[in-house]
Amino acid sequence: MELLGLGQPQVSKHLRVLREVRVVDVRPEGRERFYRLNGPALKPIHDWVMRYERAWTDRFEALDLVWKTSNRRRMVMAAATNKRAVKVTLPSEEEILIEREFDAPKHLVYTAYTTPELVKRWWAGQRGEVTECEIDLCVGGRWRYVMVAHGQFEVAFHGEYREIVPNERIVSTQIYEAVPDAPGLATTTFSEVDGRTTLAILVRHTSRENRDGHLNSGMEAGTNESLDLLEQVALSLP
């Protein structure tokens, strides 16, 4: 009983139940009782357990196969995504360089990047809804994007185009309207090799402090989401 961690009343109760279902036989000798397992009585229990053991083993093996297949699929998808993930580097103390490869020709990426109704489909990423998108695509023309984030607050940017080479290069100012005294200059280039496009956005800030504020705003995750959608939009174009 010490080994079982049970008291005498508890042991007696368990033995009485086992005796009633004939799993054990009892042989009294004086004031003592000797118990012996009844092997034949255990066989139905063993068969019942084995039936469910086979069923659960089959189910767990099937679940293991599903998990392994899903895990391999996730690994393949992650590897494919990582190949096209946004790359962020810091060329200088005032600059941020954002690069991403697209499985689409540059004229489609450029079209999706510069057409208002298409920009509305990707610019907010997964973080809200674009409510305004104005693009006057010419040197001296202005642009403005506005989104309402899931937290119900508004995020707006605007700027002016300084240089435009269709399908190749766009240079424009970039101002986050919540911080109007921290303007940036964005140079966006589109380069294509074998039908795949590399988009590079070089943002030059007026100070390291402004650059770091941009960098620490969560821009990398947000840009990843936006450019993932940009690729989908580009691939949907004829």
pLDDT in tens, 112-130: 999 999 999 999 999 999 9
DSSP state of 65: H
Could you give the angle at which helices 219-236 and 106-114 cross, rounded to 10 degrees?
A: 110
Q: What is the rounded CA–CA span in Å between residue 92 and residue 227?
A: 24
Which of these, 151, 79, 158, 128, lies nearest to 226 by C-alpha position?
A: 128
Query: Which region, left, alpha or beta, applies to residue 167 given φ > 0 means left and ψ of -120 to 50 means alpha?
Result: left
**pTM assigned to the model:** 0.66
Residue 87 has a pLDDT of: 94
What is the reported pLDDT for 31? Answer: 79
In the predicted structure, residue 4 carries a pLDDT above the cut 80:
no
Residues 6+ apart with CB under 8 A from 117: 133
Token output for 19: 């005796």
47 band by pLDDT with thresholds 50, 70 and 90? confident
Residue with tokens 């042991």: 11
Higher-scoring residue by pLDDT: 42, 160? 160
